[in-house]
A and B are shown apart, each in its own frame.
Chain A
Amino acid sequence: MKISFVLNGKKRTADVQPDMRVVDLLREHLHLTGTKEGCGSGECGACTILVDGESRLSCLMLAAQLEGKRITTIEGLSKGKRLHPVQEAFVESGAVQCGFCTPGMVMTAVDMLSRNPDPSRDEIREGISGNLCRCTGYQKIVDAIEAAAKDKSR
Chain B
Amino acid sequence: MKREKQIPFRIGEATPRCDARTKVTGQERYAADYYGDHFFWAGVKRAGIPHGKLIKVHTEDAKKLKGVVAVLTSEDVPGSNRVGIIRGDQPVLADKKICYAGDPLALVIAENKETLQTALALITFDHEPLPGVFDVEEALRKDAPLVHEDSPGGNLLRLVSVETGKGASAFDECDVIVEGVFETPFQEHAYLETEAGWAYLDDSGQLVVVTATQTPFRDRNEMAPALGIDVEKIRVIVPYLGGAFGGKDGITIQCLLGLSALHTGGVPVKMWWGREESFLASVKRLSARMRYRLGVKRDGTFHALECRAYFDTGAYAGLGETVMTLGLEHAGSAYRIPNVSIKGSCVYTNNAVGGPFRGFGVTQVTAAMERIVDMAAQKLSVDPLAIRRVNAVERGDKNCIGVTLTHSTGIKKCLAALSDHPLWREREGWKMKAGQFKKRGVGIACMAHAMGYPAVVPDFANAKIEFTGEGRFRIYAGIVDMGQGNASTYAHIAGALLGQEASAFELIQPDTERTLPSGSSSASRTTYVYGNALVIAVEDLKKKILDKALRLFSTAQAEELMLVPGGIRHRKDKKKVSLKEVAGLFDESERFYTAYFRSPAATEMLDRIYLGPHIIFSYGAHLAYVEIDTLTGCIEVTGYLAVTDAGNVINPQAYEQQIQGGIAQGIGFALSEDYKAANGHADTNSLATYIIPTAMDVPDMLSVAADNAEETGPFGMKGIGEISISGPVPAIANAVADACGIRIGRNPITAENIFRALWEQNDQERPR
Chain A residues with a Cβ under 8 A of chain B? 27-28, 31-41, 43-44, 46, 73-75, 77-78, 83, 87-92, 94, 96-103, 106, 121, 124-126, 128-142, 147, 151
Contacts and interface: CB of A to CB of B under 8 A. Distances in A.
A108 B608 CA distance: 53
A112 B240 CA distance: 28
Interface in B637-671: 653-654, 656-657, 660-665
Interface stretch (B18-26, B328-336, B445-453, B740-748): B18-26
21 contacts: A35-B26, A39-B687, A41-B686, A43-B687, A83-B21, A87-B24, A91-B21, A94-B14, A94-B17, A96-B20, A96-B23, A96-B24, A98-B483, A99-B24, A132-B694, A134-B692, A136-B657, A140-B657, A141-B695, A142-B695, A142-B700
A62 B194 CA distance: 22
A134 B192 CA distance: 7
A11 B190 CA distance: 37
Contacts, number: 180
Pairs A-B, 6 closest by C-beta atoms: A34-B26, A98-B483, A99-B23, A100-B242, A137-B664, A74-B26
B698 interface: yes
Interface string B692-725: 1111101011000000000000000000000000
A94 B654 contact: yes
A83 B2 CA distance: 12
A77 B482 contact: no
Contact of B660 (A96, A121, A132, A137): A137
B33 A33 contact: yes
A89 B484 CA distance: 19
A33 B25 CA distance: 11
A91 B194 CA distance: 24
A89 B1 CA distance: 8
Given A28-B35, A92-B1, A41 B687 contact: yes
B485 interface: yes
Contacts of A102: 23-24
A151 B694 CA distance: 25
Interface size class of B (residues with CB under 8 A): 35 or more
A73 B27 CA distance: 12
A128 to B, nearest CB: 5
Contacts of A89: 1
A41 B192 CA distance: 13
A38 B664 CA distance: 19
B193 interface: yes
Nearest to B659: A137
B553 interface: no
B26 A39 contact: no
A43 B25 CA distance: 22
B297 interface: no
B16 interface: yes
B696 A36 contact: no
Nearest to B485: A97
Given A98-B242, A99-B23, A137-B664, 7 more contacts: A38-B194, A41-B687, A44-B687, A91-B24, A98-B483, A99-B19, A135-B483
A125 B697 CA distance: 9
Nearest to B640: A137
Nearest to A124: B695
A136 B243 CA distance: 10
A12 to B, nearest CB: 17
Contacts of B28: 99
A40 B2 CA distance: 36
Contacts of B19: 96, 99
Nearest to B243: A98
Contacts of B473: none
Contact of A140 (B29, B482, B660, B687): B660
Given A94-B654, A99-B23, A139 B696 contact: no
B677 to A, nearest CB: 20
A38 B193 contact: yes
Contacts of B275: 38-41, 44
B243 to A, nearest CB: 4
Contacts of B661: 97, 134-137
Contact of B696 (A90, A96, A100, A129): A129
Contacts of B686: 39, 41, 43
Contacts of B189: 134
B24 A137 contact: no
